[in-house]
């Protein structure tokens, strides 16, 4: 593989493009609007510069990495791609629409992957012309800093495709774990119910935002509190994952916390929208409840 396509230039997509370009791959980055893709490249440039200042990116690697990224809004541009990673919003209808428009342009041996954090890989793969060449490739935010990637084979995924994904993860400096195609896979299957339970606790007045976060940081030795982490994940994304888990299993233990639903209805998605369980408009985040 030499040419990597990334669909979606948001938080996850620009992070995937960042690590792929830095590892020496040629990257085609697309979004529905060209200005969004161009803004993503500026974000990558800023983040590479931050990496240089921290000593984790070589200064002479920045310009070549940026030169390896091209932006587009046209699915036909992926005709040269060896692997295309879909990193659009966590919505199955949107992902299916993307794949429907993409696969006619792909070469026969191109691999497909989705960065979904919860949706069935087998079901998404079945909607394409190459289920044996399709996998889940779930990165974690922020992609340049988080070392983990989950590889999730679907029912039809070939051994050769799995091996190619493991090799890709290694080349971009990630540690891969392999998860079964079960609702929310490994990390989110365990993590998201914990975040959801913290929101239940907040809504029921068990503790304040600050006390709940401090309790888990100090009592469980977590690097950040669950409400801070929920803001970082994105409350809309967390809600989507909980709903996928509840729908797929029928288990009421995955019921989204009512307060989580209300925050998403208000457009308070967390850090990316500037407001969630904390308000990020000032120099220091302040609790919103």
**Contact criterion met (CB below 8 Å) for 83 and 5:** yes
19 backbone dihedrals φ, ψ, rounded to 5°: -70, -35
Interatomic CA distance for residues 124 and 100, integer angstroms = 11
Interatomic CA distance for residues 112 and 123, integer angstroms = 14
- With DSSP H G I counted as helix, E B as strand and the rest as coil, what are the percentages for the chain, rounded to 5? 50, 15, 35
Token pair of 77 as six digits: 């541009």
Token pair of 134 as six digits: 């399709």
138 among known catalytic residues: yes
30 among known catalytic residues: no
Q: Are strands 69-72 and 3-7 parallel, antiparallel or unpaired?
A: unpaired
105 among known catalytic residues: no
Name the one residue in this structure whose structure tokens are 């976060």. 213
Interatomic CA distance for residues 231 and 274, integer angstroms = 9
Q: Alpha carbon of 79 to those of 20, 30, 32, 170, 282: distances in Å?
A: 18, 13, 18, 25, 45
265 among known catalytic residues: no
Out of 18, 86, 115, 138, the active site residue is 138
Out of 117, 118, 120, 196, the active site residue is 117
Interatomic CA distance for residues 199 and 57, integer angstroms = 37
**Contact criterion met (CB below 8 Å) for 180 and 150:** no
Out of 118, 150, 196, 240, the active site residue is 150
**3-class DSSP state of 114:** strand
- The catalytic site residues sit at 117, 138, 150, 188
């Amino acid at each position: 593989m030499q040419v990597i396509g990334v669909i979606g230039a948001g938080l996850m997509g620009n992070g995937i493009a960042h690590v792929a370009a830095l590892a020496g791959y040629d990257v085609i980055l697309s979004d529905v609007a060209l200005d969004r893709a161009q803004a993503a490249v500026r974000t990558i440039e800023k983040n590479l510069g931050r990496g240089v200042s921290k000593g984790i990116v070589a200064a002479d690697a920045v310009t070549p990495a940026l030169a390896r990224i091209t932006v587009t809004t046209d699915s036909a541009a992926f005709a040269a791609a060896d692997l295309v990673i879909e990193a659009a919003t966590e919505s199955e209808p949107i992902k299916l629409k993307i794949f429907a428009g993409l696969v006619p342009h792909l070469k026969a041996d191109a691999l497909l992957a989705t960065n979904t954090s919860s949706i069935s890989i087998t079901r998404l793969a079945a909607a394409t012309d190459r289920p044996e060449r399709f996998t889940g490739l779930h990165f974690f935010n922020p992609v340049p800093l988080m070392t983990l990637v989950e590889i999730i084979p679907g029912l039809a995924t070939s051994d050769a495709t799995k091996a190619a994904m493991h090799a890709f993860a290694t080349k971009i400096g990630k540690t891969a774990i392999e998860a079964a195609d079960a609702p929310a896979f490994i990390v989110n299957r365990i993590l998201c119910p914990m975040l959801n339970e913290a929101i239940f606790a907040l809504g029921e007045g068990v503790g304040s935002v600050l006390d709940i976060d401090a309790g888990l940081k100090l009592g469980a030795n977590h690097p950040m509190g669950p409400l801070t982490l929920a803001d970082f994940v994105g409350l809309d994304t967390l809600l989507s994952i909980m709903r996928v888990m509840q729908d797929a299993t029928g288990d009421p233990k995955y019921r989204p916390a009512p307060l989580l639903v209300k925050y998403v209805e208000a457009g308070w998605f967390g850090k990316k929208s500037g407001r969630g369980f904390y308000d990020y408009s000032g120099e220091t985040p302040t609790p919103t409840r």
